[in-house]
Amino acid sequence: MSTISPAHDDHSHAHDHDHAHHGPPQGITRWLYTTNHKDIGTMYLVFSCAMFFIGGTMAMLIRAELFKPGLQFFNPEFFNSLTTIHGLVMIFGAIMPAFVGLANWLVPMQVGAADMAFPRMNNWSFWLLIPAAILLLGSFLAPGGAIASGWTLYPPLSVQQGISMDMTILAIHMLGASSIMGSINIITTILNMRAPGMTLMKMPLFVWTWLITAYLLIAVMPVLAGCITMLLTDRHFGTSFFNAAGGGDPTMFLHIFWFFGHPEVYIMILPAFGIISQVIPAFARKPLFGYASMVYATASIALLSFIVWGHHMFTVGMPAAGNLFFMYATILISVPTGVKIFNWISTMWRGSMTFETPMLFAIGFLCLFTIGGFSGLVLAIAPVDITLHNTYYVVAHFHYVLVSGALFAIMAAVYFWLPKWCGRMYNETLGKWHFWLSMIGFNVAFFPQHFLGLAGMPRRIPDYALQFAEWNMWSSIGAWLFGASQILLVWNVVATIRNGKPAPQKPWEGADSLEWTHLPTPVPYHTFETAPVIK
């Protein structure tokens, strides 16, 4: 994606008359020193894609070990490292940076701003990701290998880990700092740099969902930082925050971690809601059914996300009242989430739909995310959760919301905006193949995991009892199909950038946000140097 150029250069020449000093420098310094939101967005997306493939490779290895009962390839400790780092890489390396990359590209264009509010901080928040990723992945080479405690880092197990835990803690600190800076940037851009006439309630939903997500990030990333700092001092400086022998309590870690962890789940899904809310109206050629109620639903989900963390902890032994409070709060989230689903379907209703790749991914998102929502509802019912907690049912649930939820939305976004970014049209046939193979592979991989969980197979095990063998085999086959089909995405994107057909200013008939209506394709390096006026 690094070559936005050929078609793009034409335009920057046109621009160079009066802005010679503003054109992108060439070579590596362009990327190292850039303060341009589009360059930084591109770097975020490339980084996220690399992490997606690294984390995905780990998933493929995990499924290889789980193809059959018995230990075939890895010792259990290394297997645990794989599951742990797969989780961390996918959450902090793939999904979150992808959304930040999309925000960088889109937020300034959609609100009619020239760039992000703090361009230098923007550069810094991206480049922080690189050392963090090196630390996280490099920990595989540390004595003892990468951490094997699960991505949730529960003590005392995490206290037992070697130096790789300290590397991971430092990596998470950097990723957190990066997220906080990114969020400050996004909030400031949205609140202060909107074009005249672009009132809050006229903003595209992607911008709205990111505004709310950014507040969530600012609220909970410091909580995570505090949590892992306490872990660090417990490990090395003799504190006993999470050690009962010194007056602490491991349960406290769980409370603090999930106070971060649950809003984090919404951090990874709210921007996806925003993307879907723009893709569906574009391909239904019909305005979003309930714009205002979508905004309110997003805000309610964000607020509720702060009072549901205990549903990750129904088995720690909270009193009945505690479990019941978290159960009620959690099932309540399905109300605003339902509002969103109903809104999207009402938007499609009596539209004039076409089914290009972004729309296919959006519909895939709608069906599968809803399945993940339903399994979430099942898990929210505390007595049922006690039967299913820490089984493969949970694994199925969160992959339905994070892969067919967040990731499918990111893919919809990439296909949707790629023509705008690089000025070239992707290959529709290849896109459709990518969608259908992903859809089939994903469901073959993850649907049987519901059955495994119901039958009682715990998660995070390298080896399992014989009654779980058949579904695991199918799950592995599906996972490999899903993994392999992602190569089509990269192929398609690279081929598009290199020699796709030129795209028109507005390739999607129903798209209506500023980047389609006010900006040429491909978008110039600098846009909206004078703000458009929105009527």
Partner 1 sequence: MHLKHLRALAVLLASLPVSLACFASYDVDIMTPVTPMSRDSYNLHWGILWVCVAIFFIVFGAMFWSIFKHRKSRGAVAAQFHENTTIEIVWTIVPFVVLIGMAYPATRTMIEMKDPSGADMAVKITAYQWRWEYDYQQDGVKFVSNLATPRDQIENYDGPGAPKNDNYLLEVDNPMVVPVGKKVRLLITSNDVIHGWYVPQVGVNQYGIPGFIKEAWFEIDRPGIYRGQCSQICGKEHAYMPIVVDARPPEQYEAWVKEQKAKMPPPPAPAAAPAQVAAAGAPAAAAAPAGGAPAKPGATLTLAELKAKGEKVYMANCSACHQPTGKGMPPAFPALDGSKTVNGPKAAHIATVVKGRPGTAMASWAHLSDDDIAAVVTYERNSWGNKTGDAIQPAEVAAARK
Positions in 381-410 near partner 1 (CB under 8 A): 381-384, 386-387, 389-391
Q: Which stretch binds partner 1 (CB under 8 A): 21-29, 53-61, 109-117, 338-346?
A: 338-346
- Cβ proximity to partner 1, 68 vs 432, nearer residue: 68
Phi and psi angles of residue 359, each rounded to the nearest 5 degrees, phi first:
-65, -40
Which range, of 35-43, 74-82, 269-277, 302-310, touches partner 1 by CB under 8 A?
74-82
Residues 6+ apart with CB under 8 A from 309: 255, 258, 259, 261, 262, 326
From candidates 121, 177, 299, 377, binder to partner 1 by CB under 8 A: 377
For partner 1, the binding residues in 303-322 under the rule CB under 8 A are: 315-317, 319-320
Query: Does residue 120 carry a catalytic annotation?
Result: no
Decide if 15 is catalytic: no
Shortest CB 525 distance to partner 1, Å: 35
Buried b (16+ CB within 10 A) or exposed e, 356-382: bbbbbbbbbbbebbbbbbebbbebbbb
Query: Least distance to partner 1 from the beta carbon of 204, Å?
Result: 15
Q: Does 64 bind partner 1 (CB under 8 A)?
A: no
To the query of whether residue 476 is one of the catalytic residues in this protein, the response is no
Binding residue for partner 1 (CB under 8 A) from 157, 303, 307, 534?
A: 157
Sign of the C-alpha dihedral computed for residues 259, 242, 139 and 71 taken in this order: negative
Q: At what angle do helices 37-65 and 469-499 cross, to 10 degrees?
A: 150
d(CA 275, CA 101): 13
For 315, phi and psi rounded to 5 degrees? -105, 10
Which is closer to partner 1, CB of 291 or CB of 482? 291
- For position 428 contacting partner 1 by CB under 8 A, the verdict is no
Burial class, 317, CB count within 10 angstroms (exposed 0-12 / middle 13-18 / buried 19+): exposed
Contact between 154 and partner 1 per CB under 8 A:
yes
Q: Is residue 366 involved in binding partner 1 (CB under 8 A)?
A: yes
> Are the C-beta atoms of 81 and 146 separated by less than 8 Å?
yes
What residues from 468 to 527 belong to the interface with partner 1 (CB under 8 A)? 469-471, 510
The interface mask with partner 1, positions 276-305, x = CB under 8 A, is --------xxxxxxxxxx------------
Residues 162-191 that bind partner 1 (CB under 8 A): 162
User: Which of 23, 69, 226, 524 touches partner 1 by CB under 8 A?
Assistant: 69
Task: Tell me, rounded to whole angstroms, the distance of Cα 149 from its chain centroid.
Answer: 22
First to last CA, the chain: 35
Instruction: Find how far residue 119's CA is from the centre of its chain.
Output: 23
Tokens for 104? 């960088």
CA angle 243, 248, 250 (to 5 degrees): 60
The answer to whether the CB of 402 falls within 8 A of the CB of 371 is no
Please, which residue, 209 or 391, has the CB nearer to partner 1?
391
Whole-number minimum distance, CB 251 to partner 1, in Å?
A: 6
Element containing residue 338 per DSSP (H, E): helix 334-348
The question of whether 179 is a catalytic residue gets the answer yes
Residue 146 interacts with partner 1 (CB under 8 A): yes or no? no
By C-beta, is 27 or 383 nearer to partner 1? 383
63 is catalytic: no
Q: Which of 466, 499, 530, 535 binds partner 1 (CB under 8 A)?
A: 466
What burial class does residue 189 get, using C-beta atoms within 10 Å of its C-beta: 0-12 exposed, 13-18 middle, 19+ buried? Answer: buried
* Residue number with CB closer to partner 1 (123 or 370): 370
* Active-site residue (options: 37, 235, 262, 450): 262
- Per CB under 8 A, the list member of 348, 407, 439, 493 interacting with partner 1 is 348
Letter for the amino acid at 29?
Answer: T
Residue 397, both tokens: 């649930």
Selected from 3, 233, 352, 517, the binder of partner 1 by CB under 8 A is 352
Reference 308, options 433, 220, 227; nearest CA is 220
| One-letter amino acid for residue 99 of the chain | F
Give the span between the Cα atoms of 208 and 296, in whole angstroms: 10
User: Among 55, 93, 145, 522, which residue sits at the site for partner 1 (rule: CB under 8 A)?
Assistant: 145
Residue 323: what residue type?
Answer: N
The CB-of-247 to partner 1 minimum distance in angstroms stands at 9
In the complex, minimum distance from the CB of residue 335 to partner 1, in angstroms, rounded to a whole number: 5
- Please identify, using beta-carbon distances, which residue of 322 and 532 lies nearer to partner 1: 322
- The answer to whether 327 contacts partner 1 (rule: CB under 8 A) is yes
Q: Which is nearer to partner 1, 164 or 178 (CB)?
A: 164
Contact status: 201 vs partner 1 (CB under 8 A): no
Question: Which residues are the active-site residues?
Answer: 86, 115, 151, 178-179, 262, 264, 266, 277, 311-312, 337, 340, 459
